[in-house]
């Protein structure tokens, strides 16, 4: 009897906690995904104090957490904002695919209160996912709130290209509802369009050793020769291991930089080739592009792991000088903290700029307003949308922007003739260790919360205030000035094509770039070309060429359509 | 309890008897409770989600409220240009795992069983179990580091020998061998536990009798050990065959590269790509359901064959 009782007690002791654990594991849905809890966390600090609210925020950008301060809630900027608007953000970021994360939050109904995500178009990628979520009730319609928050309302139109605003943000399917707040947009002036400095960057010490001038490398042939010389030159990284002649950042971003010799100034998915309009997937340049990439890989000139690079492995390669040449942005934030500190002689130089197929500089192409940008949207289930909008409105006000970029007057900066300037000791601290600036909260807001604004235009910095990295970045801007095309993208003409919806559904599951990457690694050129033609055939069968013909016909009748 | 009930004048019915028995073993049932709850919550409750395969899933309408789509997504999958290659890759990897991976734990168990020194046996057992507890993320990352064409140990050695580096993880011809070898390395120790347990259940008298009859090690193995293990092997084989469409999601997903995708795309990874990456939830659920239905048919057939041939079966 005693034995049985003992057994019972023992089994209870083990089984009950296990049961509780199991049930608890199922019921918990992750604190970070819970919506704002205004009622729970609300506390009135006197009649003047704003209501204290905690909101969840997701930066749906691969590696987007790099700008987050270590102490999310009690850094200098976060504290000031809390005092002003009562809002505290719990920040979350991802190191995986953006589309994957967006689909997951929408399908599992765990949309954080505020989300920032890429929104390049509503017919593919992230934008398509977000549009579906908006139309299926996952996003909050901002229309009723906008008049109350003028700084937010201004973001919807300022610095946004007219066609993008009309066809993407105000697609008829939205029935007049507004879901998206564009950020990282220019202030409406051409000078405020941000130059991302996409290009090929080569290690300076290697160029010097080879007696090659960076600006001389501006064609595909010269690039190939340079990479061959690098391979044969037996150059080493900082660990004494052989360098990779050519590489990229995560997931092959941006291997397209090695193919700029076939590029043109395009603002749409259509190409004008020999007087004929074609869809980009069917372009005659696809074959030489593919064969060039294959030549790089088969001759050991291009990192075969580039397409499998994670953000971490790519940064590791960058920090160790492993890549003799890489294609992407200047990556100044990462490099200034790592390689440029340990091995300043390795400082990367911009190659070329590379020339495009017309012999012009291959550079960033933009319309006067930005078409495609990061957007902020709010969850339909957010408990306190006013708090989120209060936050966004404040950080986009003049006062909020000063705080976001410069911190607190007298503490981090001073005003000199109305222009903010870092306090000398603060500037020195940030120059020596950029992470200090990040941890004060001075990086995450400018990156993802502010729009219709350019700090360079509003607060131009005198030369003596600029860091050497900033000066370097500006030198790249000068070499690759933005090409502005003030026309309507042909993409929007295509939407008038009667078969457009059918085409979109038929190509929904096709991924040209995935097939192109597969073909790069095919066993032979013949097999690679066959793979390329197979995917092109699928686009052709879906009607890509008929659509291009339709666009050509419509575009011929007017002069404001750009390809 | 029965005595108590009789005293109270209650006539024991069949239901009462069952409950009496259950109450008698209540502590055993209590042990089972977390597992039952786990199954209900994680396996049975989410099962209604398979309805998505027959629906045009809309976020705002939920699973039950979304409009019906019939078998459209199943038809779409059967007509998908990737259907045959994905199915072929899945079956190839599973068949190879079965061919090489299934006997490996048995062989290890027999080898460990032949070790007489308990201390050495335990050391080997522990070492062989450890990889099971290492996640596939770690295993594949290690493989990538060791085999990397840029920083990998193997290619460093090749470089010292004046040879060009090889992108091992990107070679289609090496993909299956790497999958099988890493799968065996990770699972062989853990898989041998069941066989070791079964081996301890073999009556030692059988071995003594065989020894007296002058049987050698090999004939003891083939005439006593293996026949006695047949039921265990049979059951495990049934499980393995029924899971032949599970080629191992974590491992394959992590090992895939654009260079190997033509041989590495399996049903599970395809489901993830169409579902989570392309947002085609109904389509990917249909693929998953297709896989489950085939597995169910397989388990029934294999169980029937096994029952007929060796008298070993699950039910």
Question: pLDDT (tens digit, 9 = 90+) per residue, A128-162?
Answer: 899 999 999 999 999 999 999 999 999 999 999 88
Our CA-based measurement puts residue A530 at a distance from the nearest CA of chain B, in whole angstroms, of 14
pLDDT tens per residue, range A464-485: 888 888 899 999 999 999 999 9
CA dihedral sign, ordered B13, B19, B24, B28: positive
Least confident of A354-368, B85-99, B131-145, B233-247: B233-247
So what's the pLDDT on residue A320?
94
Our CA-based measurement puts residue A242 at a distance from the nearest CA of chain B, in whole angstroms, of 8
- Identify the helix (H) or strand (E) that includes residue A504: helix A500-507
Least confident of A51-60, A85-94, B189-198, B275-284: B275-284
CA dihedral sign, ordered A6, A7, A9, A10: positive
Q: Report whether A440 contacts A383 (CB < 8 A).
A: no
Paired tokens of A267? 């603002």
* Percentage of the residues of chain B whose pLDDT score is greater than 90: 43
- Mean pLDDT, to the nearest integer, of B96-116? 91
So what's the pLDDT on residue A39?
35
Partner-chain residue, chosen from B60, B156, B170, that has the shortest CB–CB distance to A521:
B170
Do residue B274 and residue A509 have CB atoms under 8 angstroms apart? yes
Our CA-based measurement puts residue B156 at a distance from the nearest CA of chain A, in whole angstroms, of 9
- Please determine, for residue A38, whether its predicted confidence score (pLDDT) is greater than 70: no
Do residue A317 and residue B26 have CB atoms under 8 angstroms apart? no
A185–chain B Cβ distance below 8 A for any pair: no
A173–chain B Cβ distance below 8 A for any pair: no
Do residue A11 and residue B159 have CB atoms under 8 angstroms apart? no
Partner-chain residue, chosen from A19, A106, A538, that has the shortest CB–CB distance to B33:
A19
Our CA-based measurement puts residue A29 at a distance from the nearest CA of chain B, in whole angstroms, of 14
So what's the pLDDT on residue A7?
56
**Residue A420: beta bridge partners?**
A415
Our CA-based measurement puts residue B89 at a distance from the nearest CA of chain A, in whole angstroms, of 16
- Mean pLDDT, to the nearest integer, of A215-237? 95
pLDDT tens per residue, range A490-547: 988 998 999 998 998 888 778 899 899 999 999 899 999 999 999 999 999 999 999 9
So what's the pLDDT on residue A261?
94
- Give the residue carrying structure tokens 């309890």: B1
Picking from B38, B60, B154, B258 by the largest number of A CB atoms within 10 A of its own CB, the best residue to mutate is: B258
- Please determine, for residue B76, whether its predicted confidence score (pLDDT) is greater than 60: yes
- Mean pLDDT, to the nearest integer, of B275-302? 87
Partner-chain residue, chosen from B28, B61, B276, that has the shortest CB–CB distance to A100:
B276
So what's the pLDDT on residue A504?
86
Partner-chain residue, chosen from B27, B276, B280, that has the shortest CB–CB distance to A509:
B280
pLDDT tens per residue, range A75-131: 999 999 999 999 999 999 998 889 999 999 998 889 999 999 999 988 778 998 999
The CB density around residue B96, as the number of other CB atoms within 10 Å, is 16
- Please determine, for residue A433, whether its predicted confidence score (pLDDT) is greater than 90: no
Q: Please, what is the average pLDDT of chain A?
A: 88
Q: Which residues of chain B does A106 touch, with a Cβ-Cβ cutoff of 8 Å?
A: 59, 279
So what's the pLDDT on residue B81?
82
Paired tokens of A103? 């689909």
* Percentage of the residues of chain A whose pLDDT score is greater than 70: 91
**CA A445 – CA A184 distance, rounded (Å):** 10
Partner-chain residue, chosen from A97, A304, A520, that has the shortest CB–CB distance to B149:
A304
A304–chain B Cβ distance below 8 A for any pair: yes
A541–chain B Cβ distance below 8 A for any pair: no
DSSP code string of A208-266 = HHHT--GGG--SHHHHHHHHHHHHHTT-B-TTSPBPEEEEESGGGTTGGGGGGGG----
Summarize chain B as % helix, strand, coil (round to 5): 75, 0, 20
* Percentage of the residues of chain B whose pLDDT score is greater than 70: 96
E strand intervals along A320-464: 323-328, 348-350, 365-366, 373-378, 413-416, 419-422
Picking from A1, A16, A21, A22 by the largest number of B CB atoms within 10 A of its own CB, the best residue to mutate is: A22
Do residue B278 and residue A509 have CB atoms under 8 angstroms apart? yes
Strands A373-378 and A114-119: antiparallel
So what's the pLDDT on residue A48?
65
DSSP code string of A1-63 = -HHHHHHHHHHHHHHHHHHHHHHHHHH---GGGS---HHHH----TTTSPPPEEEEEEEEEET
The CB density around residue A501, as the number of other CB atoms within 10 Å, is 10
Do residue A11 and residue B38 have CB atoms under 8 angstroms apart? no
Nearest to A112 by CA among A377, A443, A446: A377
Q: Report whether A558 contacts A542 (CB < 8 A).
A: no
- Mean pLDDT, to the nearest integer, of A218-229? 96
- Mean pLDDT, to the nearest integer, of B157-179? 90
Interface of A with B in 89-128 (CB under 8 A): 97, 99-100, 103-104, 106-107, 109, 128
Least confident of A87-91, A246-250, A459-463: A459-463
Q: Which residues of chain B does A22 touch, with a Cβ-Cβ cutoff of 8 Å?
A: 34, 37-38, 41
Our CA-based measurement puts residue A103 at a distance from the nearest CA of chain B, in whole angstroms, of 6
- Mean pLDDT, to the nearest integer, of A371-386? 94
Q: Report whether B150 contacts B142 (CB < 8 A).
A: no
So what's the pLDDT on residue A230?
96
Our CA-based measurement puts residue B261 at a distance from the nearest CA of chain A, in whole angstroms, of 7
So what's the pLDDT on residue B5?
47
A301–chain B Cβ distance below 8 A for any pair: no
Interface of A with B in 141-160 (CB under 8 A): none
Do residue A23 and residue B261 have CB atoms under 8 angstroms apart? no
Going by pLDDT thresholds of 50, 70 and 90, the confidence category of residue B118 is confident
pTM of the model: 0.78
Picking from B277, B280, B282 by the largest number of A CB atoms within 10 A of its own CB, the best residue to mutate is: B277
Do residue B27 and residue A305 have CB atoms under 8 angstroms apart? no
Task: Read off the DSSP letter of residue B312.
Answer: -
Helix, strand or coil, per DSSP, at residue B55: strand
Our CA-based measurement puts residue B54 at a distance from the nearest CA of chain A, in whole angstroms, of 16
**CA A283 – CA A286 distance, rounded (Å):** 6
- Please determine, for residue B104, whether its predicted confidence score (pLDDT) is greater than 90: yes
So what's the pLDDT on residue B1?
43
Nearest to A281 by CA among A15, A43, A541, A501: A541
Residue A72 phi/psi, 5-degree rounding, is -70, -30
**Residue A182: beta bridge partners?**
A375
Nearest 10 degrees: Cα torsion B108, B109, B115, B118: 120
Q: Which residues of chain B does A19 touch, with a Cβ-Cβ cutoff of 8 Å?
A: 33-34, 37
The CB density around residue A412, as the number of other CB atoms within 10 Å, is 22
**CA A401 – CA A449 distance, rounded (Å):** 10
So what's the pLDDT on residue A383?
94
- Please determine, for residue A40, whether its predicted confidence score (pLDDT) is greater than 70: no
**CA B265 – CA B78 distance, rounded (Å):** 16
A232–chain B Cβ distance below 8 A for any pair: no
What's chain B's length in residues?
315
Do residue B31 and residue A11 have CB atoms under 8 angstroms apart? yes
Q: How many CA atoms lie within 13 A of A394 on its CB side?
A: 19
The better pLDDT of the pair A1, A201 is held by A201
- Mean pLDDT, to the nearest integer, of B126-130? 91
Q: What is the ipTM of this complex?
A: 0.73
So what's the pLDDT on residue A45?
41
Least confident of A48-52, A183-187, B291-295: A48-52
The better pLDDT of the pair A191, A395 is held by A395
Task: Read off the DSSP letter of residue B68.
Answer: B
**CA A560 – CA A554 distance, rounded (Å):** 11
User: ω before A353 within 30° of 0 (cis)?
Assistant: yes
The CB density around residue A98, as the number of other CB atoms within 10 Å, is 18
Give residue ranges of B with CB < 8 Å to any A CB. 26-28, 30-31, 33-34, 37-38, 41-42, 58-61, 81, 144, 148-151, 156, 159, 164-165, 167, 169-170, 172, 257-262, 274-281, 283
pLDDT tens per residue, range B17-54: 888 888 888 888 899 999 999 999 998 988 888 999 99
């Amino acid at each position: 009897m005693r034995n049985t009782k003992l057994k019972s007690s023992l089994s209870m002791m083990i089984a009950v906690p296990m049961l509780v654990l199991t049930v608890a594991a199922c019921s918990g849905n992750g604190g970070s995904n819970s919506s704002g809890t205004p009622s729970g966390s609300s506390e009135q600090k006197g009649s003047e104090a704003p209501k204290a609210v905690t909101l969840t925020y997701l930066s749906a950008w691969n590696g987007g957490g790099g700008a987050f301060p270590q102490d999310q809630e009690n850094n200098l900027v976060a504290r000031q904002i809390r005092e002003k608007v009562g809002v505290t953000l719990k920040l979350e970021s991802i190191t995986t695919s953006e589309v994957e994360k967006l689909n997951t939050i929408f399908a599992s109904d765990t949309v954080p209160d505020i989300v920032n995500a890429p929104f390049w178009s509503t017919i593919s990628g992230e934008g398509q996912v977000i549009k579906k979520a908006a139309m299926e009730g996952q996003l909050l319609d901002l229309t009723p709130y906008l008049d109350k928050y003028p700084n937010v309302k201004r973001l919807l139109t300022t610095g946004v290209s007219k066609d993008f605003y009309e066809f993407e943000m105000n697609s008829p399917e939205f029935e007049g509802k507004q879901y998206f707040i564009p950020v990282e947009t220019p202030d409406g002036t051409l000078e405020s369009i941000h130059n991302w400095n996409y290009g090929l960057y080569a290690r300076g010490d290697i160029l010097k050793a080879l007696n090659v001038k960076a600006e001389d490398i501006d064609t595909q042939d010269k690039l190939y020769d340079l990479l061959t010389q690098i391979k044969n030159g037996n150059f080493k990284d900082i660990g004494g291991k052989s360098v990779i002649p050519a590489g990229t950042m995560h997931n092959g971003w941006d291997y397209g930089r090695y193919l700029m010799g076939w590029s043109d100034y395009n603002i749409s998915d259509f190409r004008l080739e020999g007087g004929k309009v074609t869809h980009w997937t069917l372009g005659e340049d696809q074959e030489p592009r593919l064969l060039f990439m294959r030549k790089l890989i088969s001759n050991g000139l291009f990192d075969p792991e580039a397409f499998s690079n994670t953000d971490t492995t790519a940064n590791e390669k960058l920090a160790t000088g492993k890549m003799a040449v890489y294609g992407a942005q200047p990556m100044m934030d990462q490099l200034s903290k790592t390689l440029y500190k340990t091995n300043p002689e390795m400082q990367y130089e911009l190659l070329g700029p590379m020339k495009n197929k017309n012999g012009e500089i291959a550079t960033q192409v933009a319309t006067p307003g930005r078409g495609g940008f990061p957007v902020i949207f709010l969850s339909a289930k957010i408990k306190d949308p006013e708090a989120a909008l209060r936050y966004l409105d404040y950080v986009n006000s003049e006062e909020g922007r000063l705080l976001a970029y410069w911190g607190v007057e007298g503490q981090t900066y001073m005003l000199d003739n109305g222009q903010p300037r870092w306090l000398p000791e603060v500037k020195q601290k940030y120059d020596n260790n950029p992470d200090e600036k990040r941890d004060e909260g001075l990086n995450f807001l400018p990156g993802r919360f502010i729009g219709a604004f350019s700090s360079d235009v509003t607060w131009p910095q005198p030369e003596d205030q600029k860091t050497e990295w900033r000066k370097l970045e500006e030198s790249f801007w000068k070499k690759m000035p933005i090409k502005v095309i003030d026309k309507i993208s042909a993409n929007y003409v295509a939407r008038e094509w009667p078969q457009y919806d059918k085409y979109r559904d038929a190509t929904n599951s096709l991924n040209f770039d995935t097939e192109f990457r597969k073909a790069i690694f095919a066993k032979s050129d013949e097999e690679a070309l066959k793979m390329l033609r197979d995917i092109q055939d699928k686009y052709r069968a879906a009607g890509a060429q008929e659509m291009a013909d339709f666009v050509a016909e419509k575009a011929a009748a007017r002069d404001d359509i750009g390809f | 309890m029965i005595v108590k009930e009789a005293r109270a004048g209650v006539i024991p019915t069949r239901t009462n008897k069952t409950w009496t028995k259950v109450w008698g073993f209540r502590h055993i049932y209590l042990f089972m409770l977390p597992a039952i709850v786990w199954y209900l919550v994680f396996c049975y409750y989410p099962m209604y989600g398979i309805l998505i395969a027959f629906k045009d899933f809309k976020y705002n309408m939920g699973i039950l409220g979304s409009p019906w789509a019939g078998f459209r997504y199943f038809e779409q999958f059967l007509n998908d240009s990737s259907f045959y290659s994905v199915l072929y890759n899945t079956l190839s990897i599973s068949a190879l795992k079965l061919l090489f991976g299934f006997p490996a734990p048995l062989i290890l168990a027999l080898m460990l069983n032949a070790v007489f020194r308990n201390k050495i046996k335990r050391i080997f057992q522990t070492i062989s179990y450890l990889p099971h507890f290492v996640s596939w993320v770690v295993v594949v990352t290690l493989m990538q580091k060791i085999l990397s064409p840029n920083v990998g140990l193997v290619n460093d050695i090749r470089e010292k020998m004046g040879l060009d580096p090889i992108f091992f993880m990107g070679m289609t011809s090496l993909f299956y061998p790497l999958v099988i070898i890493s799968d065996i390395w990770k699972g062989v120790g853990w898989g041998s536990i069941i066989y070791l347990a079964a081996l301890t259940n073999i009556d030692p008298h059988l071995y003594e009798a065989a020894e007296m009859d002058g049987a050698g090690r090999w004939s003891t193995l083939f005439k006593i050990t293996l026949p006695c293990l047949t039921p265990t092997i049979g059951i495990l084989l049934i499980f393995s065959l029924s899971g032949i469409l599970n080629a191992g999601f974590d491992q394959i997903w992590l090992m895939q590269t654009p260079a190997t995708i033509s041989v590495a795309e399996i049903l599970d990874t395809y489901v993830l790509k169409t579902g989570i990456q392309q947002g085609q939830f109904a389509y990917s659920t249909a693929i998953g359901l297709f896989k489950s239905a085939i597995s169910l048919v397989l388990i029934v057939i294999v169980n029937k064959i096994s029952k007929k041939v060796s008298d070993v079966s699950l039910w």
